[in-house]
Amino acid sequence: MQNKKGLTLFATAPRGVERLLFDELAAMGVEALTEGRGGVRFEGDLEMAMRVCLWSRLANRVLLPLKKFKAESPEALYDGVQAIDWAEHFSVTQSLAVDAKLSSSKISHSQYAALKIKDAVVDQFRDSCGERPSVERARPDIRINLHLYRDEATISLDLSGDSLHRRGYRAETMAAPLKENLAATILLRAGWPKIAAKGGALFDPMCGSGTLLIEGAMMAADIAPGYLRDYYGFIGWKQFQPAVWERLKEEAEERREKGLEDLPPIAGSDLNIKTAGIAKANVKAAGLSDKITIFGEPLNRVKADSNWQPGLFICNPPYGERMGEIEKLKLLYHEIGTILQARFSGWNASVFTGNADLAFQIPLRSHKSYKLFNGAIECKVFNFEVKAERHFEVKTPIVEGVWGGSVKKALLPAEGALSQGAQMLTNRLKKNLKNLRRWAKREGISCYRVYDADLPEYALAIDLYDGEKRAVHMQEYEAPKTVDAEKALERLRDALAVIPELLEVSQDQLYLKVRRRQKGTSQYEKQDVSGGFFEVKENGLKFLVNLKDYLDTGLFLDHRVTRQMVGELAAGRRFLNLFAYTGTASVYAAQGGATSTTTVDMSNTYLEWAGKNLALNGFKGEKHQIIRANCLEWLKAEKEKGGQFDLIFLDPPTFSNSKRMENEFDVQRDHVELIEDAMALLGDEGVLIFSTNNRKFRLDQEKLSVWIIEDVSHKTLPKDFERNPKIHYCWKISR
């Protein structure tokens, strides 16, 4: 839109970055700034718009709004777009693309809205000159942007053309790397510009694809973040000024050459040699091979070079949700703090994480933290000063062990009358059992959850397994920091005092997974594999469970209804089970009449277990394939074969950094790419069932809007898990 100063523009920003973007634009000399929802509005001429595209480290896009109007229907949207004279902006021989973002509006499908806008533009050209412009998704000459909020449409030209986080230096990539503008935000929040100005070094011991290091170098050397880009949306606009653009690029080149003359030391390492190689390739593509050092080194061996001036130690470590993942990661975060104290004294440190609780395992007091978002994941940057006075001792909760029939003496309840708390727990268990036993008998269910932290004081999950033998599986959730460790132990003893009698099991039928607090970085006690398998039934099907030898039992009880859904959809369909675990969904699919089942997992142990589960129910032979593979790599290898399957069950872990995987996996960060790869294997009439136990998970519906998505989380919630509706999320996805 035009104004007396030229153009009114809007720079979009990731959530939580608006204030930083405001300050960045102000430092560029941009005028009439207004911080708003999702970005910053500003005024300026085309030269200023191009400068922002070239120099903003934080913005996603720079939009030029053309028109605002009410659009309560597709027809109103079409008419509003038709009212714009598109010949003023581009010609019929050029290409276009349309992006649409909708919220709180009667029009709710972004792909359909984009199609209506495209039709309006194309029809206008066809009516005026008998020809129509072409559509090009990747690099169109003109990209049109729709923002529809509460039925008010804003139609803009996207002057950036593509998201500005794409700097142009990613020669190689790994699964969902940190976005470049998020990396820049983290560095700003960590105080890197001031540290670099004083000559301090930058070091990342978990550098991944090298994004933090490259962004740090570009920031310290005054290199324009868009220096390497050869594509912008304004280049195809009729009002583009080539001479001004060339002058801006020449200025950027001069500033780069000057900035590189006095760059402080920048280095990074990664345990995975291949990942370190990816980082090196990206550093080379950025033209910084002689300025950034990358090496392969495990975390416990990294140290500051004697020639480095104390600077910024920065990292983006993994985080997870399941008990086993969290416990291992607590040790990792504790190790980060230990290494900082031992080898980086006098430095500043910043840790970016999506799990704030893990950051408190670092034995240093953070002096400042900032909330940021990595996509939909709420994250924080924790800043530390590595000084002796900032140190404190962390008591690390760990899994002590799993016992059946040999509960450690320290945990056994003392003889005598029940405490008041134990009586409360007894009353609650009796109430739950009265309701659940009738339901379980009616539904033919022999394994179900009888208690799930119903009383805050007794943070336990208690499952009853009633098969060829009766057993109870009990897990203790981690007590809040406000609960004294001795008090938590007393409550655990209360539970052990009442559970055997109420659930009619002896001590050797009670299996515990217990956390207790210990000092230091003690590892898990490994569970002994003692052949503790026994058979249970569910909806007429047989499964092997093992409550003693593994962290999980082999049968996810919260997925019972989801497995039933698989069975109901399987008739006449080719079924694929990814991250298959013990193959229980494959058994349901086979029972439901699937023409074939394919069960894929990376663990030999689980696949052997899956094979036994299939055989136990009479399913053998070539129709039932079992494949040992990394599901992420297997999917990409199979994509060229197209629609091989009609029904896919996709239940990935929340997080994985298995030694058998080249890169770590995070379901929130990586789910879009994973679902896209799985959908490539799905036939035209097929259905994908996607499930996750990540309680903070948010499905990126906008990026997946090309498909039909139905949230079936509530429908797949079993009665025995109704007390905890966030136990899992589940969606049906089809074409």
CATH of the domain at 480: 3.30.750.80
What is the DSSP track for 679-718?
HTTEEEEEEEEEEE--TT----TTTTTTSEEEE-TTTT--
Note whether 385 and 312 are same-domain residues. yes
Q: Is residue 242 part of a domain?
A: no
Structural domain harbouring 428 = 397-519
Q: What is the pLDDT of residues 551-574, one digit of tens each?
A: 788 999 999 999 999 999 999 999
Strands, E assignment, 297-365: 312-315, 348-353
Q: Is residue 499 part of a domain?
A: yes
Note whether 391 and 403 are same-domain residues. no
Within 10 A of 232 (CB to CB), how many other CB atoms are there? 22
Indicate whether 391 pLDDT > 80: yes
Q: Considering 490, 519, 548, which residue would you say is the last residue of a domain? A: 519
Indicate whether 122 pLDDT > 80: yes
Indicate whether 34 pLDDT > 60: yes
Q: Is residue 25 part of a domain?
A: yes
Note whether 584 and 603 are same-domain residues. yes
Q: How many residues can be counted in the chain?
A: 735
Residue 485 confidence (pLDDT): 60
Q: Is residue 405 part of a domain?
A: yes
Query: In terms of DSSP bridges, do strands 596-601 and 574-578 run parallel, antiparallel, or are they unpaired?
Result: parallel
Average pLDDT over residues 284-306: 92
- Structural domain total, the chain: 4
Residue 482 confidence (pLDDT): 58
Q: Considering 472, 491, 519, which residue would you say is the last residue of a domain? A: 519
Indicate whether 420 pLDDT > 50: yes
**Interhelix angle 420-443/485-502, nearest 10 degrees:** 50
Residue 37 confidence (pLDDT): 84
Quote the tokens at residue 249: 């690029």
Residue 521 confidence (pLDDT): 31
What percent of the chain is predicted at pLDDT more than 90?
A: 64
Note whether 403 and 387 are same-domain residues. no
DSSP label of 413: P
Indicate whether 65 pLDDT > 50: yes
Closest CA to 455 of 481, 491, 419, 485: 491
Average pLDDT over residues 174-187: 87
State residue 566 phi and psi, 5-degree precision. Answer: -60, -45
Among 174-178, 197-201, 347-351, 631-635, name the one with the lowest average pLDDT. 174-178
Which residue bears the tokens 């129910």?
617
Q: Considering 365, 395, 425, which residue would you say is the last residue of a domain? A: 395
What's the one-letter identity of residue 106? K
Q: Is residue 246 part of a domain?
A: no
Q: How far is CA 439 from CA 120, 452, 614, 713, in A?
A: 57, 17, 27, 21
Note whether 22 and 89 are same-domain residues. yes
Side-chain-side CA neighbours of residue 718 (13 Å): 23
Indicate whether 707 pLDDT > 90: yes
Q: What is the pLDDT of residues 350-364, one digit of tens each?
A: 999 998 888 988 999
CA distance 64 to 69: 15
Q: Is residue 249 part of a domain?
A: no
Indicate whether 515 pLDDT > 70: no
Note whether 206 and 319 are same-domain residues. yes
CA distance 671 to 668: 6
Cβ neighbours of residue 94 closer than 8 Å, sequence gap 6 or more: 133, 134, 140, 141, 142, 236
Note whether 391 and 449 are same-domain residues. no
Q: Where does the pLDDT of residue 330 fall: very low under 50, low under 70, confident under 90, or very high at 90 and above? A: confident
Note whether 282 and 380 are same-domain residues. yes
Note whether 383 and 486 are same-domain residues. no
Q: Where does the pLDDT of residue 324 fall: very low under 50, low under 70, confident under 90, or very high at 90 and above? A: very low
Contact yes or no for 651/579 (Cβ under 8 A): yes
Q: Is residue 297 part of a domain?
A: yes
Contact yes or no for 170/157 (Cβ under 8 A): no
Average pLDDT over residues 14-38: 93
Among 43-57, 113-127, 356-370, name the one with the lowest average pLDDT. 356-370
CB burial of 248-257 (b: ≥16 within 10 Å; e: otherwise) equals beeebeebbe
Q: Is residue 500 part of a domain?
A: yes
Note whether 319 and 274 are same-domain residues. yes
Note whether 142 and 78 are same-domain residues. yes
Quote the tokens at residue 19: 């204030």
Indicate whether 529 pLDDT > 60: no
Domain of residue 666, CATH code: 3.40.50.150
Note whether 98 and 145 are same-domain residues. yes
Domain of residue 55, CATH code: 3.30.2130.30
